[in-house]
Amino acid sequence: MVLIDPKRQVGLYMIENDNSGERTFQYWRNDSAARYLMRHKDLTAVFEKLSEYDTLFLSGISLAILPDKDKFQLIDALKALKQQGAKIIFDGNYRPKLWADKQTAQMFYNLVYPIADLALITFDDEQLLWGDANIEVCRERLLTHQIPHLVLKDGANGCYHTHKRETLHIPTTPIENVIDTTAAGDSFNAGFWLVG
């Protein structure tokens, strides 16, 4: 049993793994602190502090859980930080249950793609959101946003890194005994940025 203090913003996450290491998530995050990010009592100071960082990371989930007004405000703040020299990394991470409808998600993604210096995109998610016929169609659609570094993750097929219209396919290394895939995508994202 978990008791949640109604005076605090708390999120609860549970992960269950199947025999192949694939995970299923259960979330209780309607009152998580992240949902109230743009309502911080000293938001100006928060973004002044963020201006000291050279790289900022945004996930589609972080965007999805905000009220629409806050989404616009966050995107405007990120644009301002980008103009000050910050690099913006966007992990699409589309989760249909977090959005009112596809059209709303598409609208906000189309506002974020153009400010991304690096987009780390999972093809399955994009296909679900946009209905792309294949990975090439997906890549061409995303490149219309002039994203300097685009990484399309394609599960067991590896990933595709596009920079200056040149695409490199990076295959996966098969793992026979997968125990837990939790944070595999996050680890990939962190490693790609550090090594790349």
Cα 129 to Cα 5, 28, 36, 60, 105, distances in angstroms = 35, 23, 25, 12, 8
| % pLDDT > 90, the chain | 61
23 in a domain, yes or no? no
pLDDT at 95: 93
Active site residue 186: yes
27 in a domain, yes or no? no
Residues 6+ apart with CB under 8 A from 127: 138
pLDDT at 6: 46
Cα 138 to Cα 26: distance, rounded to the nearest angstrom = 29
- Model confidence at 186, pLDDT cuts 50, 70, 90, reads confident
Helices 68-83 and 102-112, interaxial angle, to 10°?
10
pLDDT tens, position by position, 14-25: 667 677 666 665
Cα 87 to Cα 96: distance, rounded to the nearest angstrom = 27
70 in a domain, yes or no? yes
20 in a domain, yes or no? no
pLDDT greater at residue 158 or residue 34? 158
Question: Which of 67, 69, 63, 65 has its CA nearest to residue 28?
Answer: 65
For the chain, the domain total comes to: 1
Give the largest Cα separation in the chain, rounded. 52
pLDDT tens, position by position, 86-100: 999 999 999 999 999
CATH number at residue 170: 3.40.1190.20
12 in a domain, yes or no? no
pLDDT at 92: 95
159 in a domain, yes or no? yes
- Model confidence at 189, pLDDT cuts 50, 70, 90, reads confident
Q: Which two tokens stand for residue 79?
A: 């644009």
Mean pLDDT across 51-72 = 94
Cα 125 to Cα 118: distance, rounded to the nearest angstrom = 17
pLDDT greater at residue 12 or residue 52? 52
167 in a domain, yes or no? yes
Provide the whole-model pTM: 0.81
pLDDT tens, position by position, 127-164: 999 999 999 999 999 999 999 999 999 988 999 999 99
Cβ–Cβ under 8 Å, residues 86 and 51: yes
Range of the domain at 171: 40-195
From 31, 117, 132, 186, active-site residue: 186
76 in a domain, yes or no? yes
Cα 15 to Cα 17: distance, rounded to the nearest angstrom = 7
